[in-house]
Amino acid sequence: MECFELIHNKGKDTWSQKIFLTFKKCNVLKKIFLYLFVQVKAVT
C-alpha cells in the first residue's frame, strides 16, 4: 500500500515522475525486468 500512498503524497510532481518514483520505490521495475528475462530464457 506504500506505493499508492506515495503517488498521492507527491502532488507537485508530474504523473509520469510519480509513477516512475513509485515503481522505483516499490522495486517493480526490477521485478518486471527479471520476469521478462525469465520469459526470454524460457523461449530460447
Residues 21-41 have pLDDT tens digits of 777 777 777 788 888 888 888
d(CA 5, CA 2): 5
> Can you say whether the dihedral through the CA atoms of 30, 32, 37, 42 is positive or negative?
positive
Judge whether residue 4 has pLDDT over 60: no
pLDDT given at position 5: 56
Map out the domains of the chain as residue ranges: 2-43
Q: Map the chain to HEC letters.
A: CHHHHHHHHCCCCCHHHHHHHHHHHHCHHHHHHHHHHHHHHHHC
